[in-house]
Amino acid sequence: MTGRYTEIAIQFKHAPNMKFRDSLVKRANIPPNVLVLRIQPNEGICMCFNTKVPSPIPQLSPVEMDFSYSDYFGQAPSTGYETLIYDCMCGDPTLFKRADTIEVGWELVEPVLDVWSALPPRNFGNYAAGSWGPAEADALIENDARSWRNNGVGA
């Protein structure tokens, strides 16, 4: 990736029946509604949706509602390490993995790793560090008429 971002973007599908079907509004020109939960580095929530412009002419315009923790609370949130150290000092094991859970996880993953090490990858879509990934990833998601948020990350 070109930067370090952690976010969850939920892209909503268009409604099956358009209210302004026979008007100037065309489905191809309407961007999808998106809900973005920003985890790091700019913690917050953003909702981008389309709304009708108040006028007799049927026209849609994108609107963005953006909430950022730093804008409202004025302090940087604590890092995950601060939380873990505090929980450790208080004796709270909730955020820590138990040994038996880790062992079961490795039992599930080791056969996959063994096969990967025994067989060379075929048609593996590798990509350079600092890029947005292989072209195969774009082609895969474009099959459903969707696209990655490469330009909107961290917004």
Q: Please state the rounded mean pLDDT for residues 27-37.
A: 78
Contacts of 24 (CB under 8 A, 6+ apart): 57, 58, 59
Q: Is the pTM of this model over 0.85?
A: no
Q: Of 49, 52, 45, 64, which Cα lies nearest the Cα of 20?
A: 52
Give the rounded percent of residues in the chain with a pLDDT score beyond 90: 20
pLDDT band at 23 (very low <50, low <70, confident <90, very high): low
* pLDDT tens per residue, range 86-95: 888 999 888 8
Cα separation of 98 and 86, whole Å?
18
* Domain chopping of the chain, boundaries: 1-76, 78-126
Per DSSP, which regions of 16-131 are E strands? 34-40, 44-52, 60-68
* pLDDT tens per residue, range 65-117: 999 888 888 776 667 788 888 888 999 888 888 899 999 999 999 999 999 88
